[in-house]
Amino acid sequence: MTQRPPETSSSAGVSRRRFLQGSGTALAAGVTTSEASSSAGPAAAPRLSGEVEVTFQLNGEARTALVEPRTTLLSLLRHHLSPPLTGTKEVCDRGNCGACTVQIDGAPAYSCLTLAVDLAGRSVRTIEGVGSPESLHPVQRAFCEQDAAMCGFCTPGFVVATVAALEQEPQASLERVKERLSGNLCRCGTYPHIFAAVQEVTGQRTDEVFREEGR
């Protein structure tokens, strides 16, 4: 049923297990650095910051950032860039809700479970790279027309996941769309409107969506 965790694992190269292993490696690396600097004496140049340089594509532009090995892509986007990219939302921060969904090399991925150091040479697309206020992406326009947001916190993640799904399957069936979006949660319950927006983009009848949902 839930597709995002496996997709996240294969596309972004990160799974929960690997994330934890990465954190453990970072911790171990910190200990090793500390021990090495103390044994090498004051002449050595210890690496105290532990930051790593990573170069990747962000919304079509080459970006280089200094990040600690523990820094997630979500944290990088929201707290370490200047200016920050806050369109990607932090809700659960543990891979449960999909609010932080971005595209990595075209596939949807949870940015809260993606380590920034794993982005080297990869391409990241956030909601800021999907249309603009002056020129909305068709999916964004359909979400507006179908009133597919209440609080709106889940919306950027849903839009990015929908764009990724329809880029890969432009004429996906409703069942297929639901499967592709099953890694995203909306606590306000706007699912019928979200699916109607998707159906609007794919050119299918939106009233079928509401009939199926009993509305």
Closest distance between ligand FES and the C-beta of residue 34, in Å? 31
CB of 10 or CB of 32, closer to ligand FES: 10
CB of 52 or CB of 91, closer to ligand FES: 91
Spatial separation of the C-alpha atoms in residues 10 and 138, rounded to whole Å:
28
Closest distance between ligand FES and the C-beta of residue 28, in Å? 26
Closest distance between ligand FES and the C-beta of residue 98, in Å? 5
Phi, psi dihedrals of residue 109, rounded to the nearest 5°: -150, 145
CB of 94 or CB of 176, closer to ligand FES: 94
**Do the Cβ atoms of 166 and 138 come closer than 8 Å?**
no
CB of 47 or CB of 178, closer to ligand FES: 178
Closest distance between ligand FES and the C-beta of residue 65, in Å? 19
Closest distance between ligand FES and the C-beta of residue 190, in Å? 5
Q: Cα dist. 32→3, 22, 118, 196 in Å?
A: 38, 15, 21, 54
CB of 28 or CB of 81, closer to ligand FES: 81
CB of 205 or CB of 215, closer to ligand FES: 215
Spatial separation of the C-alpha atoms in residues 85 and 56, rounded to whole Å:
15
Closest distance between ligand FES and the C-beta of residue 167, in Å? 21
Residues found near ligand FES in the complex (CB under 6 A):
90-93, 95-100, 110, 112, 149-155, 186-188, 190
- The residue among 152, 157, 166, 156 whose CA lies nearest residue 198 is 166
- 92-124 in b/e form (b: 16+ CB < 10 A) is ebebebbbbbbbbeebbbbbbbbbbbbbeebeb
Structure tokens at 28: 């171990």
Distance of alpha carbon 21 from the chain centroid: 20
